[in-house]
Amino acid sequence: MLGRATYWRLRQKRRVRRVQPYTPSFIRHVEEDIRILKLVAANASVDPFDLWPFMRKGRGVREVVEELGLTAPKVLYGPMPSRDVPWDVLPSSFVAKPATGSSSRGVFVMRRSKDGVFDDLMKGRRWTAEDLVRQYEKLPSNWHHVLNDEVLIEEVVESRGRPSYDWKVYAFRGEIALIEQIDRLGGATRFRHYLPDWTPALHAWSGRYDREDPLDAPVRPDELLQTAAAVSSALPLPFVRVDLYESDTQVFVGELTPFPGGSVEHSPAWDRILGEAWERGEADLRVTGMPRYDLATAP
């Protein structure tokens, strides 16, 4: 039998519930937003992207860009099935990407060689037109975000005589919190991270991504941030990652990403920094009274 003192000590331990202090978390906000979006869409019997039409691949992003007087890379062909792409008459350089999907899967930055074969500037290999068609036809079965084999062919945005870096700006209702610079050329992926004043943002990611590679500074730093701030302020979202390219003369909007796949890679410190920025963005959104979802599409 338990002694009286031991009995009451155990009772007291059961009564005490340790409440962990709340810590703002970017990944928690992202995951919560995904769940709520799916629930709202299910209750309205619509596709989730019908509630955020600006997120539709291709035209949705371009409508936002055009309304704001900004620029997106020019579409040369598509969206169309990969077998219908006129591969033999494409320009000397172009970008091929899935019409649906996310991340860099199925994205090719190409340069045509004299023998008609395409040099893949990202992966460092060569492809024929038939090779590319086979890649796109099997992509939907290998990557669940890609719905079909339809392809977009876009112009290549170049800066300093080479394809532009990817600039991914974390924007919260006009507030810039983090900038990622990515170089995907040559078969390796290199990163740099910046604060809004373009000083290094150290340890933004964890694990294998926690490094700062030697990459060139931006050509148009102010315009990159102004563009991201303008786009994020126009959307009914507390956060959006604005993916940009820059030429020697202007900035181009590539994609808008409210749910970055790499969110889980942020270090704990940066998960909190971005989580706090999300809450400021959410507060601003509520003050403005912008409608969170487009329910006009509901039946």
| pLDDT tens figures, 59-89 | 678 888 899 999 999 999 988 999 999 999 9
Each residue of 39-57: pLDDT tens digit? 999 998 988 878 887 776 5
Is 135's pLDDT higher than 70? yes
What phi and psi, each to the nearest 5 degrees, are found at residue 120?
A: -85, 110
Which sequence spans correspond to the domains of the chain?
25-56+157-294, 74-156
Of 274, 278, 294, 275, nearest to 286 (Cα)? Answer: 278
pLDDT of residue 101: 62
Tokens of 55: 């997120």
Are 96 and 84 contacting, i.e. CB atoms less than 8 angstroms apart? no
In terms of C-beta density within 10 A (0-12 exposed, 13-18 middle, 19 or more buried), how is residue 240 classed? buried
Each residue of 212-266: pLDDT tens digit? 788 999 999 999 999 999 999 999 999 999 999 999 999 999 989 898 877 678 8
Q: Which CATH superfamily is domain 25-56+157-294 in?
A: ATP-grasp fold, B domain (3.30.470.20)
Each residue of 144-183: pLDDT tens digit? 666 677 888 999 999 999 999 999 999 999 999 999 999 9
